Amino acid sequence: MTTYEPHVDVHVSKTGSLWLAVLSGVAGGMSAHSLKELQADIAEGLPFLFGDRDQLPVPVFHYTLPGLTEEDLRAFARLQREAAAIAEDYSRTAKARVDQLAGLGLSDADIGELLGLTKQRIQQIRTNPPVARRSA
């Protein structure tokens, strides 16, 4: 039995108005007018390209764009995950503090003064549930 890699490298570049993709070990390539369309085409094509495998490989995208490295894109993705985690923590903490202060009988205006937020923002926090953490 042949052992296969659990992933397939997909090398993506942009030429003119087209996104181009070349899958490692596969002759030819794919193209599309949007990145989302190209990714969908690749996902749809995997069963045909790797139908001889018990399990389809997971595409691992590698982008070649002028002035950007893969590390630039990975660094931004890390920063985005960190920012989302901070925003989620902020949302939960803000909700807890607002609820705590409201429980003491303070008005939305007074809570806003204590927390450095507007009365309208306090009302939003009170009426919206905290954001649930998404798994990465």
CA distance 21 to 28: 9
What integer pLDDT is reported at residue 130 of this predicted model?
A: 59
What is the torsion angle, in degrees rounded to the nearest 10, for the CA atoms of residue 4, residue 7, residue 22 and residue 79? -160
73: amino acid identity, one letter: L
What is the torsion angle, in degrees rounded to the nearest 10, for the CA atoms of residue 89, residue 94, residue 96 and residue 100? 160
What integer pLDDT is reported at residue 3 of this predicted model?
A: 66
33: amino acid identity, one letter: H
As a residue count, the chain comes to 136
pTM of this prediction?
A: 0.65
Domains contained in the chain, CATH given: 7-66 (3.30.2390.10), 71-127 (no CATH)
Name residue, tokens 């607002």: 98
Per-residue pLDDT of the chain (136 residues; tens, 9 = 90+): 566 779 999 999 999 999 999 999 889 899 999 999 999 999 999 999 888 888 889 999 999 999 999 899 999 999 999 999 999 999 999 999 999 999 999 999 999 999 999 999 999 999 887 555 555 4
DSSP type of residue 135? P
